[in-house]
Amino acid sequence: MSDKAVTADKTLFTPFNVIAGFIIIIGSVITILRFTGGLAAVTNLSDNNPWGLWIGFDLLVGVALAAGGFVTSSAVYLFGMKKYHSAVRPAILTGFLGYALVVFALHYDVGRPWRLPYPFIIQSGTTSLLFEVGACVALYLTVLFLEFTPAPLEWLGLKKVRALIVKMTLVLTIFGVVLSTLHQSSLGALFLIAPSKLHPLWYSPYLPVYFFVSSIIAGLSMVIFESTLSHHYFAEKMDETHLSENEGVTLGFAKAASFVLAGYFIIKIIGISFSDNWYLLGTSYGIWFLVEILGFVALPSFLYAVGV
């Protein structure tokens, strides 16, 4: 056996590749079962429980984690924080990939994925919250794609087209912020029409506000996470501007996340007071609520504040 063959074998059968290959095989089998046998073949969903844990993760959590694009672009282009400009392109790319994966995952979640475009071209349920979510996600995905295109257009040497897109940056940013605000908050509004699905501690008329504010927190945190990993593994491929501004981006976004988390903690307390649910904090669900608020809101806010 030649040295090249030995090297190829060592490169191919790494622990990561073996685990990833196993996941891909299992996922492929489940995918075949899902699209040949329907949702009933791979889930335990019913009319009483039409949404499972997975759609709650990929739609509600995934969309929030992809909010770094609109948070960063609005900070730079709307609020004039030019010192964070180096984070715009990777944040927009992360947001675009995140929203694209959400749309891809929806093909698994809905019963008949080929009918996803129906609300837009056949029967528009304009009074439906899900219609608003779908319309905003589709439009914002288009906006993110346009905001990202200057990078590939630059590589392709299409200077005139790139210049046109760059001139549209401010308009695209404003449009993207409006769309993000609408659909991030409307995801919370979905639960306003189903109070029986939520415990009173989590049900609140402020749910749209909770979802929107938490998406800002998730977006800021994802930019910090992505920036940290990028500068750790790809530092040698970055220019001096990105390398010199990395610390400022991390510290600035961490400071912002600390303030937003503190604000989120306050509005959650206001929500409990408004609903007069203080007595529920002594129940078993109340303990989990305190774990959420203290462990995943107050503590991160404190750690961000100490870190900066």
What pLDDT does 124 receive? 66
Question: How far is CA 214 from its chain centroid?
Answer: 10
What pLDDT does 270 receive? 94
* Residues 151 and 75 occupy one common structural domain: yes
Domain boundary among 181, 203, 235: 235
* Residues 202 and 77 occupy one common structural domain: yes
89 belongs to a structural domain: yes
Euclidean distance between the first and the last CA atom of the chain, given in angstroms as a whole number: 55
Print the domain residue range for 218: 49-235
243 belongs to a structural domain: no
* Residues 120 and 80 occupy one common structural domain: yes
Domain boundary among 201, 235, 269: 235
pTM: 0.87
Per the structure, the count of domains in the chain is 2
Distance CA(218)–CA(66), nearest Å, equals 8
Residue 11 above 80 pLDDT? no
Distance CA(230)–CA(226), nearest Å, equals 6
> How many other C-beta atoms lie within 10 A of the C-beta of residue 131?
16
What pLDDT does 247 receive? 85
277 belongs to a structural domain: no
* Residues 11 and 156 occupy one common structural domain: no
* Residues 37 and 53 occupy one common structural domain: no
* Residues 117 and 138 occupy one common structural domain: yes
What pLDDT does 218 receive? 94
Q: Give tens-digit pLDDT for 195-214.
A: 888 899 999 999 999 999 99
302 belongs to a structural domain: no
Q: Give tens-digit pLDDT for 17-55.
A: 999 999 999 999 999 999 998 888 888 887 777 777 777
Distance CA(71)–CA(239), nearest Å, equals 23
DSSP string, 72-113: HHIIIIIS--GGGGGGHHHHHHHHHHHHHHHHHHHHHHSS-G
29 belongs to a structural domain: yes
- Where do runs of H (alpha helix) occur along the chain? 3-12, 15-37, 53-55, 62-65, 68-73, 88-109, 118-121, 129-148, 150-156, 159-167, 169-189, 207-233, 240-275, 284-290, 299-307
* Residues 32 and 179 occupy one common structural domain: no
DSSP string, 18-55: HHHHHHHHHHHHHHHHHHHH-GGGT----SSS-S-HHH
Q: Give tens-digit pLDDT for 31-40.
A: 999 999 888 8
* Residues 137 and 7 occupy one common structural domain: no
* Residues 218 and 167 occupy one common structural domain: yes
Which tokens go with 71? Answer: 């948070």
* Residues 102 and 146 occupy one common structural domain: yes
112 belongs to a structural domain: yes
* Residues 84 and 12 occupy one common structural domain: no
The set of residues, in sequence order, having a beta carbon less than 8 Å from that of 170 and lying 6+ positions away, is: 77, 78
* Residues 7 and 110 occupy one common structural domain: no
- The mean pLDDT value of the chain amounts to 88
Domain boundary among 235, 254, 269: 235
Percent of the chain with pLDDT over 70: 96
Q: Domain of 150: which CATH number?
A: 1.20.1630.10
* Between 222 and 124, residue with greater pLDDT: 222
